Structure 1
Amino acid sequence: MKSYIKKNLSTVFFAAVLIVGLCIFLYPSVSNYLNGLKQSKAIADYNTALDSMTPEDYSSFWQAATLYNEKLASGVMDFNLTDEEMEEYNTILDPTGTGIIGYLEIENIGVNLPIYHGVEESVLSVGIGHLPGTSFPTGTASTHTVLSGHRGLPSAELLTNLDQMIEGDTFLLHIMDQVFAYEVDSINIVLPNETESLYIYDGEDYVTLVTCTPYGVNTHRLLVRGKRVDYNQEERLIITADATMYSTLTVAIFIAVPILFVIFIVFMIRTSKHFNKGK
């Protein structure tokens, strides 16, 4: 009897260790998938809210953003806003009242993330942050939008693969009723305090994507800058259904494997019981 109990305890312990190890191994993939669902829902809710807006609503938000950008272009950029300036900042391009400005799409690296006001940790853990004190994306000249995102989080991929971008690649900003396309024209690695390349250039419309580098060390900043180019939606027929199915299937397999493993262990224990009873 003691031998039987000891054998079963060993089997259960071994199974528990394997299950825990498997869960740890699968956590990044499953967590990233679940975060992806949240991000997709945030974008879907944003688009749904836009459906109820009138042309006058859009015009009002665009006008406020344009005026804000003009003030930035005519003065000295300061990334540290006062409380009063932050209050004004948080109302710009926030048609849904949720802090979402729009969303960033980078087809090359599979990015589709909501863009929020500010770069607080609460923002960067779930999406892309817009750096206060930089231009809002309005598709106009003499603007320079700076968007920041994490990489290497165990719970979300975010901008982990931004270093795979090369000059000539494009990315899109979906802002209210507009889509702005940007072609990467400059990639640089700088120290955190080197902000000169984030300044506004007269007559240019730039967006710079910022993330930490090297991966896991984070002592520097990777700057991927894009210059606005014409956007033709008809030339970009993106089929996302297959990608979505693949992602869902992958995660379904990840979830099914430990469940099937548990069922297998239970089956083995019961078989062992019957075998020992037969003895």
Structure 2
Amino acid sequence: MLMREEEVAPPTAVETGEGAVTSASGRRWKPGLLTIAIAVLGLGGLGAGVYPMTAAWVTSFNQSQVIENYGAEIENVHPGAREQLRDARDYNDALSAGAVVLGENANLPVGEGTLSDESLDYDTILNANAEGLMARVKIPSIDVDLPVFHGTSDAVLTRGAGHLEGSHLPIGGEGTRSVITAHRGLANATMFTNLDQVKTDDLIIVEVFGEVLAYRVRDIQVIEPQANGTIRPEVGEDLLTLITCTPLGINTHRIVVTAERVTPVPDAEASAAGKPPTIPGFPWWAVLGGGGLLLIGGYVVRQGFQDARASAARPLSAQADSTDLNTPHGDATEGLGGSNE
């Protein structure tokens, strides 16, 4: 009596006992250690190459969103913009602005100014939101457009520029010098990285609670940390100072850019005031990263089949060699002992 044969499912990709995968066509896929090592190195190199571009793009996008929302936040702030500006002028009048301490190898300068009126709270004046957003600083010549926050803590300087507490608030006025600082050389953000490229007569624009102030660069210095006299207020002058560290990664000196107030504000800058910042361009890092992943993935898939074939061929070759050595007509030891005659 004939037994009915069981139906057999068509072959699919399965994993063998040796860890290899067999495709539906019967081809085995098992990448070798060298292939895996090359793929890991490739992924590491791709990540190292794409990360700075990715992080810088994301940071720039986030900063542009903060600046874009600045106008709406000023309209809804309490107290209102006029009251905040009045308090800022009272603060500057009450401030005895001291020198700025620039500790060697330190990233953050420290203000030494003191207030004669302790009722004025620095953190609540010119405060547009819960994050302490104060103003917007633009340097058109080097494409800088940053939000300015209260203080210069590490948390603040990861989001944008910081106003140095102890210096005058950035609303202008005779005998004032406002100091704004930002990081330089960060892998994930540009910030003040190109501040060394600023030239004399370049413009710096500050937008603060609906007002627009223009400053023209008059002096650029690289100073030692102890040279505090270069950033003191000057009688009768309305000054803005930008500070960042140099050389990159060493931070033993400071780039100090000093600019003096110009009035009226140039027409181009006045008309651009309050407009949204330029959104970062197309994220080419995504294209590069995606293309790199496809290349690495294609290499691993292709090489995995080749490695599997090579691995399968080695036992067959060894078996063939063993068969040749043990055939009846071909003793491998024949003739090694020589003749007894």
Residue 9 of structure 1 corresponds to 33
Q: TM-score, normalised by structure 2?
A: 0.70
Once the two structures are superposed, residues 100-138 of structure 1 have per-residue CA deviations (whole angstroms, 9 ceiling, x without a partner) of 111111122121111111111111222111111111111
Letter in 1 for 2:80: D
Answer with 171-180 or 82-91: which moved more.
82-91
Residue 149 of structure 1 corresponds to 182
Letter in 2 for 1:136: L
Answer with 40-49 or 223-232: which moved more.
40-49
The match for 2:81 among 54, 58, 73 is: 58
Q: TM-score, normalised by structure 1?
A: 0.84
The match for 1:182 among 205, 215, 220 is: 215
The match for 2:288 among 249, 254, 260 is: 254
Shift of 1:254: 3.2
Rounded Cα–Cα distance in structure 2 between residues aligned with 1:100 and 1:134: 17
Shift of 1:8: 3.3
Shift of 1:144: 0.4
Rounded Cα–Cα distance in structure 2 between residues aligned with 1:146 and 1:86: 22
Residue 93 of structure 2 corresponds to 70
Q: Is the 8 A contact 1:126 1:156 kept in 2?
A: no
1:49 paired with 2:111, answer no
**Map 1:27-46 → 2, pairs under 5 A:** 27-46=51-70
1:195 paired with 2:216, answer no
Rounded Cα–Cα distance in structure 1 between residues aligned with 2:75 and 2:169: 22
Shift of 1:62: 0.7
Shift of 1:269: 4.1
- Closer, same or farther: CA 86–155 of 1 in aligned 2, 3 Å: farther
Once the two structures are superposed, residues 172-210 of structure 1 have per-residue CA deviations (whole angstroms, 9 ceiling, x without a partner) of 112110121111100011122322121111221111000
Q: Secondary structure at the match of 1:59?
A: helix
Q: Secondary structure at the match of 2:265?
A: coil
Query: Identity over aligned residues, as a percent?
Result: 29
Q: Secondary structure at the match of 2:192?
A: coil
Rounded Cα–Cα distance in structure 2 between residues aligned with 1:95 and 1:236: 21
**Map 1:164-243 → 2, pairs under 5 A:** 164-229=197-262, 230-234=264-268
Shift of 1:49: 1.1
Answer with 110-119 or 44-53: which moved more.
44-53
Alpha-carbon RMSD: 3.4
Answer with 40-49 or 144-153: which moved more.
40-49
Structure 2 segments unaligned to the other structure (5+ residues): 1-17, 21-27, 100-110, 314-341
1:106 paired with 2:139, answer yes
Rounded Cα–Cα distance in structure 2 between residues aligned with 1:235 and 1:66: 24
Structure 1 segments unaligned to the other structure (5+ residues): none
- Closer, same or farther: CA 130–265 of 1 in aligned 2, 3 Å: same
Rounded Cα–Cα distance in structure 2 between residues aligned with 1:76 and 1:139: 14
Rounded Cα–Cα distance in structure 2 between residues aligned with 1:6 and 1:250: 33
Answer with 268-277 or 255-264: which moved more.
268-277
Letter in 1 for 2:63: Q
Letter in 1 for 2:83: S
Rounded Cα–Cα distance in structure 2 between residues aligned with 1:222 and 1:15: 43
Pairs aligned (count):
274
Rounded Cα–Cα distance in structure 2 between residues aligned with 1:235 and 1:181: 8
Shift of 1:23: 0.5
Rounded Cα–Cα distance in structure 2 between residues aligned with 1:86 and 1:165: 38
Shift of 1:232: 2.9
Q: Is the 8 A contact 1:185 1:227 kept in 2?
A: yes
Shift of 1:267: 4.4
Letter in 2 for 1:251: W
Letter in 2 for 1:77: G
Q: Secondary structure at the match of 1:159?
A: coil
Q: Is the 8 A contact 1:30 1:254 kept in 2?
A: no
Rounded Cα–Cα distance in structure 2 between residues aligned with 1:107 and 1:60: 30
- Closer, same or farther: CA 139–80 of 1 in aligned 2, 3 Å: closer
Once the two structures are superposed, residues 136-175 of structure 1 have per-residue CA deviations (whole angstroms, 9 ceiling, x without a partner) of 1113222100011110112222111100001011121121
